[in-house]
Amino acid sequence: MGTSLPFAGPATAKPNSDNPDSGRGRVVGDRRRRPAWIWGGLGTVMVSAVAFSWVVMAASDRAEVLVVARDVPAGKVIGREDLRTVRAAVERGVIPLDRRTEVVGHRARLPLPAGALVAPGMVGGRAAYPPVGMSQVTIGMEAGAGPSNLARGDRVALLPGPDQGAPSGPPDSGEGEVEAPGPDPDPVAGTVTGVREPASTGDAREVRVLVETPAVRRAVSLDRPRVVVLPAVGREMP
């Protein structure tokens, strides 16, 4: 009888212990890592898509709108040279470039400062200035009676001059009674709408002030008025 050989069974591949990435070990590892790569890639794509959509939406909300190129007084007919355009966010309160015909050839209803975005209420068929309940007065401001940098838009108080309210008779004359000084008029609050420099040295500056209509008489009765700039907000008065 011959010597029998032991049955070894079917041959199988064994992973190389010296190389952990060979054989089945590498296949299993790749399968385990693949979902992480897939989800990471999908996350990057989603973030990029959201960012791109946001950029597109932000860009689509901007358009050419009308801006006042130079100061335009109330009542003036607005021309093309009075306007320019800027790219800005489109809102209901501004007029886009494609509606320029609604502005050119129409009168400014209010004083339009350079750089202001043009809104529908600023223009119309007729000048609506001064607004209802308000009036514009003009005073002469002597040197030293107000700040040298007074500008349009400043909120101011008009005060009586240094000599207003002084006794009318000569003091210590001994002839009759001297009339006692009367109380100083109340200050008048308003907003500066324009300043014109004097034509020659020593002349008063012309200051236009928008005041409440009931205060007009008091404002124009001020002799050599002084001008004080007030805080832009609030109702403080000296």
pLDDT tens digits, residue range 61-70? Answer: 678 999 999 9
Q: Are residues 134 and 74 in contact, defined by beta-carbon separation less than 8 angstroms?
A: no
Phi, psi dihedral angles at 19 (to 5 degrees): -130, 95
Say if residue 206 is exposed, middle or buried (CB neighbours under 10 Å; 0-12, 13-18, 19+): middle
Instruction: State residue 7's pLDDT score.
Output: 46
Q: Are strands 83-89 and 107-108 parallel, antiparallel or unpaired?
A: unpaired
Instruction: State residue 131's pLDDT score.
Output: 81
State the average pLDDT for the chain. Answer: 75
CA dist., res. 90 & res. 7, Å (int): 87
Instruction: State residue 169's pLDDT score.
Output: 53
CA dist., res. 131 & res. 121, Å (int): 12
Looking at per-residue confidence, does 18 or 155 come out higher? 155
Residue 194: both structure tokens together: 């324009």
Q: Is the entire prediction scored with pTM above 0.75?
A: no
CA dist., res. 99 & res. 114, Å (int): 19
Pick the most confident of 28-32, 47-51, 160-164, 169-173.
160-164
pLDDT tens digits, residue range 2-46? Answer: 444 444 444 444 555 555 555 454 544 455 555 554 445 444 433
- Positions of E strands within 72-200: 83-89, 107-108, 123-124, 134-141, 155-159, 188-196
pLDDT tens digits, residue range 78-128? Answer: 999 999 999 877 666 789 999 998 899 888 888 888 888 898 888 887 556
